[in-house]
Amino acid sequence: MEFERGRPVALDGERLGLVELLERAGAVYGRKYLLGTSMARPIIARAQVEIARQVGATHLAHGCTGKGNDQVRFELTYAALAPDLPVIAPWREWNIRSREDALAYAAEHQVPVVATREKIYSRDANLWHVSHEGGPLEDPAHEPGSDLFLLTKSPEEASARPEYVTIGFHEGYPVSVNGQELDPVELIAALNTIGGAHGIGRIDLVEDRLVGMKSRGIYETPGGTLLYAAHSELEQLTLDRRTLSLKDMVAPRYADLVYEGRWWTTEREAMDALVNTTQRRVTGSVRLKLYRGNVSIAGRWSANSLYDERFVTFGEDDVYEQSDAAGFIRLFGLSSRVAALKAQEATLAPTLAAAD
C-alpha cells in the first residue's frame, strides 16, 4: 500500500496512543526521556497490521535499522497482533548499510523523504515530540546548533517576560488549558506552542538502547514537559505518601516497558490497572510559570487536596494536639531504641563479668 494512503490510519492510531500515554504521565526513561518515539511505534505498527488485513497483504515491513530500538518495537507488535505475517526489514536484508545508501535507494525509486546528504539527521516527529539523531550528533561532545531545533526557541532568544499557564486535569487526564476545555490533540498542540516559545522541553540524552549500545539523541517535548510538571504536582497534592511511593516504583518499570516495545502485554495491562486506581483522586488545576527554559509551580488547586492548613499552620490551632507527638516518636523509634539498648548491654557485659 502507498505510504500516503496509510498515513491517516496511522495518525488516528497515534492520537489514541497519545491519550493512553497522557493518562500515565510520570514514566521517564533514562531520567529525562518522555518516550515520544517509543510510545508511537506500537500504535503505528498496529495501524500497519490493520491495513494489511484490509488489503490482504502477505507481509509486513518497516524501515528501521538493525542497530536501533524501533525494529524491536515494530516487530513485537507484529508478533502480538499478526504472528502469521512474515516481516521484511530492508536494512537487515538488503544492500543498505547506511543512511546514505537509504537516501540513494529513495532517490532511485522516487520515495519522498525529508533528509538530505547535507542534513542527514534522523528525525522522528509526532504530536508529542520531535527527536534528532545521527550526523554530527553522533559525537557526544558536539553542541547542536540552533538550526537543529524545530519545536522550541533557544532559551536565550525566548521572551524576557514570564508567562503563566494553567492546566486542568480530571482523574489524571489533562482536559483544559487556561480554563478552555480541549481534546487531547488540541491540548498538546496548544502546550507545544506555549512551551516551545519559552525554550522549554529540550533534552540532550546519551541513552542505553535496547540492543545494548549507547546512543545520543536530542529531544524536543515542550507540551509534554509542561504536562509532566503539572501532573506530578497535582499528584503531590492529592495522593498520600505511600501511594506516591508505589507509583514512583511503577513509573520506571512502565517506562522500560514502553521503551522496549512491550506494549501488548499482560504486564502493561496490570500496571494500567494500578495507575488507573491512583488517578481517581487526581482532579484539579496547576498553574505554571514559564521563563527562558524553566518551569516553576505558581499554584495548585483540587477539591481532593490532602493539604489542610489547619493542621500545618505555625499559628494557633484547635485541631492538632502537639503533645501527641511524643508518644508517636517513642513508638516510631522503638526499633532503634531497642537496638541501642542491646548494644549497650553487650558492651557492659564483659565489664560486669570481670567485676564478679
Annotated binding residues? 33, 38, 63, 65, 69-70, 73, 122, 131, 207, 219
Would you say 124 and 174 are in contact if contact means Cβ atoms under 8 Å apart? Answer: no
Vertex 23, ends 279 and 37: CA angle to 5°?
Answer: 150
Q: Grid coordinates representing 144?
A: 547542536
Rounding to the nearest 10 degrees, give the CA dihedral for residues 184, 160, 146, 208: -60
Known binding-site residues for ATP equal 63
Give the other-Cβ count within 10 Å of 222's Cβ.
27
Q: Grid coordinates representing 156?
A: 536565550
Known binding-site residues for L-citrulline equal 33, 38, 69, 73, 122, 131, 207, 219
Residue 203: in which H helix or E strand, if any?
Answer: strand 202-208
Q: What is the largest CA-CA distance in the chain?
A: 100
Of 19, 20, 34, 28, residue with least CA distance to 247:
28
C-alpha distances out from residue 66 to 38, 113, 139, 257, 273, Å = 16, 20, 20, 20, 34
Residue 218: in which H helix or E strand, if any?
Answer: strand 214-220
The span from the CA of 132 to the CA of 337, in Å, is: 56
Amino acid at 356: D
> In sequence order, what are the residues at sequence separation of 6 or more whose Cβ sits closer than 8 angstroms to the Cβ of residue 329?
none
Known binding-site residues for L-aspartate equal 65, 69-70
Residue whose C-alpha cell is 525554550: 199
35 torsion bin: left (phi>0), alpha (psi -120 to 50), beta (else): left
Count, in order, helices (H) and strands (E) of the chain.
12, 11
